[in-house]
Structure 1
């Protein structure tokens, strides 16, 4: 186990629970080193069920933690940080997973310079998140390592400049929805071709999982893997030809660009 530190969650929703469970399960930290607070008993019980300490207030969470993960809804970030401002001392690290809230705003509202922003996505719930982090200039190498270990417990994490975060939102933030649509459409295709619904859906989801795993594990370019499946005048190239006629690739590219643009608009308001 890495050197133990105390972890606090301000906001005890689904994302916070996924991170806390992943951290405890992977042994990055013992559950007794994690704390949160929530006014709803069902949220307190969810965290308490795997050994997290429940405290009375958010300011107690900050007081008793070295790293504080802010996981409230974006519209609540400003009021929560202004309220907690007196609790942030120099040695603490503030980590925000709130979409669209920039480092500059986090620093301004919290009065704290040691800030890291992370963009995870919903597959964190099953330990397969794609997360990206960027760090304010006052965050240290040690802070980066600790935060990497926390988010590494729920998937994979990359470091990138903040200027890329709208594009990250358009790709990995919104991307699970594009893949859910794809799985649903593949299953519908299976049903249209005569398969029972449950078999079609099982095959579609496992096929997407398998293909993604091949890209991740082989290190081969997806185009190379696609070429390996498409034999001359065979079934796969017939299907690929239909996808190209329907501008499948161009449509997915447009989806990522449109979502990135919308993220930029939202973060400006």
Structure 2
């Protein structure tokens, strides 16, 4: 059996878990019958159940027969879930944890040392196969990284990092989706103020942001290299950039990311 032929359970199929499922289905490598989705309120999964996904509120039942188990619950709830499934899981099942702030050793403390565990931090763009996913584990399970990377490369880009960097990945990669969306919203509001209808401004802002990101990726360039191409002495671009910086654009963005990382670090310990 190859990795893409695995039977998969999503424990805690909320926004991120269902986004992952949608992306994997759209990759063409999986069918609804390959998935079991668990959630306390299964009514929220009714639409997916009607499409052929197995749905249950029972986590123990949900992991039966699965080769791959994604943990997609809140950090504050993960210990309860792990204790619930600890007696039913076996070493032939791979745990892929999407839970922020919960280390491999934390999971091993409850499940035992013989259960393979890899951590992954994607973002909700995984639903359209445009995620940036950071992957990490400890030395014992490093041999499982390639198969996890194979799966996430079906739904976007991946980078393998040290486990110590996973908190930072949460802030920049997972939370980062919201930060960039807020920047696009601000741009669209500016467009609305100067002349455009709201829908026009949002379309223009979103496509412009997509183009800016695509330039960096396609050219493997630094943002300032691309900025230099559209700025001229006494021009309108540099005037706008300077005004943004005078009002703390970059410093606010940086501070938001660092504060987000600090908050993520404490989520697992919160009651």
TM-score by length of 2: 0.88
Q: Which moved more, 1:225-234 or 1:256-265?
A: 256-265
Q: What's the counterpart of residue 104 of structure 1? A: 105
Aligned: 1:30 with 2:31: yes
Q: CA deviation at 1:200?
A: 1.7
Change (3 A) 1:46 1:53: same
Aligned partners of 1:251, 1:41: CA distance in 2, in Å?
A: 39
Q: What's the counterpart of residue 129 of structure 2? A: 127
CA contact (8 A) 2:138 2:163 kept: no
CA contact (8 A) 2:118 2:135 kept: yes
CA contact (8 A) 2:67 2:94 kept: yes
- Per-residue CA shift, 1:22-66, capped at 9, x if unaligned? 212213333322223445443443333443334673223322111
Change (3 A) 1:36 1:189: closer
Aligned: 1:69 with 2:70: yes
Aligned partners of 1:259, 1:168: CA distance in 2, in Å?
A: 10
SS of residue paired to 2:134: strand
TM-score by length of 1: 0.89
Aligned partners of 1:244, 1:57: CA distance in 2, in Å?
A: 51
Number of aligned pairs?
A: 268
Q: What's the counterpart of residue 238 of structure 2? A: 237
Structural mapping, 1:143-222, within 5 Å: 143-222=144-223
CA contact (8 A) 1:2 1:28 kept: no
SS of residue paired to 2:141: coil
CA contact (8 A) 2:42 2:57 kept: no
Aligned: 1:137 with 2:145: no
Stretches of 4+ aligned residues off by more than 4 angstroms: none
- Per-residue CA shift, 1:54-84, capped at 9, x if unaligned? 4673223322111111112222211111111
Q: CA deviation at 1:108?
A: 0.9
User: Structure 2: which 5+ runs fail to align?
Assistant: none
